[in-house]
């Protein structure tokens, strides 16, 4: 015997959207949408904070740019782009099905949009490497 959960096991728990055991792709889409939303909101403020360096003049901004060549920043850019692509394309599914369009094909719609996200990510990587 072991303690499984705290008292009143069936009561509401707001964090339950993160518990994806036994769930289908719709719940995964919702949870990932939330996670990317939280990440993108955080990134919005990081981005705005970084842009404040522009107010300090050319030397501050240009020396900051030199530090962004580090692999860490490229990796961060890739993560942000993945988040943006997932959130945007899943958003199209949420809006379309949310007004009654393609409701019966929501799974196919989700899979197609995620395939498109993967293609766009690869294209972006290709552009990134060509541009240098």
Interface residues with other proteins (CB under 8 A)? Answer: 1-14, 16-17, 21-24, 26-27, 29-31, 34, 37-38, 40-41, 44-45, 48, 51-52, 54-55, 57-58, 61-62, 65, 68-69, 77, 81, 84, 88, 91-95, 97-100, 103-104, 106-107, 124, 127-128, 131-132
- Of 81 and 118, nearer to other proteins (C-beta) is 81
Contacts for 90 with CB less than 8 Å, ≥ 6 apart: 29, 32, 33, 110, 113, 114
- Of 50 and 115, nearer to other proteins (C-beta) is 50
How many whole angstroms from its chain centre is CA 91?
Answer: 11
Q: Please, are residues 124 and 78 in contact by the beta-carbon 8 Å criterion?
A: no
- Of 16 and 115, nearer to other proteins (C-beta) is 16
Tokens at residue 2, please? 């072991």
| Cα 38 to Cα 17: distance, rounded to the nearest angstrom | 14
- Of 105 and 115, nearer to other proteins (C-beta) is 105
Give the number of other Cβ atoms within 10 Å of residue 29's Cβ.
19
Tokens at residue 27, please? 């719940």
């Amino acid at each position: 015997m072991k303690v499984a959960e705290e008292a009143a096991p069936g009561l509401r728990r707001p964090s339950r959207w993160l518990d994806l055991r036994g769930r289908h792709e719709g719940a995964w889409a919702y949870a990932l949408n939330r996670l990317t939303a939280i990440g993108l909101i955080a990134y919005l403020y990081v981005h705005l904070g970084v842009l404040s360096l522009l107010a300090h003049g050319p030397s501050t901004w240009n020396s900051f740019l030199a530090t962004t060549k580090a692999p860490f920043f490229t990796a961060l850019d890739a993560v942000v782009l993945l988040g943006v692509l997932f959130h945007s394309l899943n958003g199209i599914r949420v809006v379309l099905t949310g007004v009654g369009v393609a409701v019966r094909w929501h799974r196919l719609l989700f899979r197609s949009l995620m395939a498109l996200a993967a293609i766009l990510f690869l294209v972006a990587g290709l552009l990134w490497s060509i541009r240098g």
